Amino acid sequence: MSKVMIAPSVLSANFAKMGEEIADLERCGADMIHCDVMDGVYVPNITFGIKMVADIKPITKLPLDVHLMIVEPEKYVERFIDAGADIVSFHPEASKDAHLTVRKIKDKGAKAAIALNPDIPVSVAKEYIEEVDMILLMSVFPGFGGQKFIESVLDKTIEIKALIGNRNIELEIDGGINTSNVGEVIKRGINIVVAGNTVFKAPDRKKIIADLRK
Ligand code: DX5
Ligand code: ZN
């Protein structure tokens, strides 16, 4: 698989300074921008929506990795892509028709991913394996940044890697990543690493992004 990419989550950014935060992430070597969209229904927290993605798009050349933690994502995926989402992840159990949701994302020309919560078995991903471009492995229960990494999630990687086989499917991990656990994550063949708190709390963002990639 390709090199490891670091996707800082702007959930941990100062929303009142979003433009500066994005420019800083780009300057510090981020590979993509992870945008956590929460609706207060699928998860017990609310963040931002389509307009934030649209406002971020013109100020960065980095791909926008939009993680939808919302119910009925099928109603909104096309508008997120029009706003500038390059990758759209959603949670299949939140969708009335997850296959349709994947198709809508792909028909609009974006990459589609399904997100697997820590308690969702790999067998769920099997159903979508011929359709998706990426699998997002949640290593915390979605809703908040700064949670503790759930180590047992790594046990799923063997099964997921076997399922992916030779297919051109990226594997992303999200939640509680830091410099102590990222090595194990990368060893498991995960090639996109989301990091919120670790990047935003670091005194030197350029260094932490480089360290996470090691
Ligand atoms: C959790 C979000 C994650 C999270 C990452 O609901 O999907 O993207 O904010 O933040 P950290 O790295 O702080 O766990
Ligand atoms: Zn996320």
Pocket flag, ligand 1, residue 195 (CB < 6 Å): yes
Residue with tokens 């939640």: 175
Instruction: Classify 168 in phi/psi space as left (phi over 0), alpha (psi -120 to 50) or beta.
Output: beta
174 included as an active-site residue = yes
Pocket flag, ligand 1, residue 8 (CB < 6 Å): no
Distance (Å) from CA 116 to ligand 2 centroid = 11
**150-187 pLDDT, tens per residue?**
999 999 999 999 999 999 999 999 999 999 999 999 99
Question: Looking at the predicted structure, is the pLDDT value of residue 1 above 80?
Answer: no
Distance (Å) from CA 6 to ligand 1 centroid = 13
**Residue whose C-alpha is closest to residue 111's, from 172, 70, 47, 182:** 172
Q: For the whole model, what pTM was predicted?
A: 0.98
2 confidence band (pLDDT: 50, 70, 90): low
**110-161 pLDDT, tens per residue?**
999 999 999 999 999 999 999 999 999 999 999 999 999 999 999 999 999 9
Pocket flag, ligand 1, residue 12 (CB < 6 Å): yes
Mutate to test the pocket of ligand 1, among 87, 90, 148, 194 (most ligand atoms within 8 A of CB): 194
Distance CA 9, CA 123 (A): 27
Averaged over 27-55, what is the pLDDT?
A: 98
**186-195 pLDDT, tens per residue?**
999 999 999 9
Distance CA 11, CA 207 (A): 20
